[in-house]
Amino acid sequence: MSFNKVLGLSYFMLLTVAGLSIGPVVLNLLEPVPYTDVTPHKMKWYEGDKLELQYSFNKNGDCELTRFSPIGVDALPKYLDYTDNDGLDVDFDRDAGTQSLDIVVDTQGFDIVELRTVHQCGDTKVDRVFARVIRP
């Protein structure tokens, strides 16, 4: 095999590996974003397995919330119960713009809690972790 063919094959292999490793990052960047600017304002653990959380965020009006779930994270994740301090219904879809979240989660002894969301943004379903809280 000539040097030019070896060099060409090497470049082809390099570009193939680079494309495969960069592909998921590019797809993630192209995915619709249902919310931005998530800012924590209060994270307080109470005795009796309660966690109070307050956040502000900016909601994208092109996406509709289909599920909001606090999850206890361990070897097997578990859905956790929560109370909305604003009296909003479960999976309430907020309007576009600046919004807030004020909830108390029953952690059931989990030291890691994630707030996960599922949004429908046009034809695309977007699963995201809104926030992750670790007991100090």
What is the tens place of the pLDDT at every residue in 64-122?
A: 999 999 999 998 899 999 999 999 988 788 999 999 999 999 999 999 999 999 999 99
Contact 122/32 with Cβ under 8 angstroms?
yes
Indicate whether 24 pLDDT > 60: no
The terminus-to-terminus CA distance of the chain in angstroms comes to 61
Q: Note the pLDDT of residue 4.
A: 65
Measured on CA atoms in the order 55, 30, 90, 81, is the torsion positive or negative? negative
> If pLDDT is split at 50, 70 and 90, which confidence band does 125 have?
very high
Q: Note the pLDDT of residue 90.
A: 83
Q: Higher confidence at residue 25 or residue 7?
A: 7
d(CA 92, CA 108): 24
Beta bridge partners of 70: 115
Q: Note the pLDDT of residue 9.
A: 67
Q: Higher confidence at residue 23 or residue 40?
A: 40
Q: Note the pLDDT of residue 91.
A: 79
Query: For residue 112, how many other CB atoms are within 10 A of its CB?
Result: 14
Q: Note the pLDDT of residue 27.
A: 46
The DSSP 8-state label assigned to residue 49 in this structure reads: T
The predicted model gives 29-55 an average pLDDT of 92
Q: For the chain, what percent of residues have pLDDT higher than 70?
A: 78
Predicted TM-score of the model (pTM)? 0.77
d(CA 72, CA 132): 10
Q: Among candidates 60, 36, 70, 69, which has minimal Cα distance to 120?
A: 60
Every domain of the chain and the residues it spans: 1-30, 33-134
d(CA 79, CA 34): 22
Residue located via tokens 């034809």: 123
Q: Among candidates 35, 8, 15, which has minimal Cα distance to 96?
A: 35
Fold designation for 33-134: Immunoglobulin-like (2.60.40)
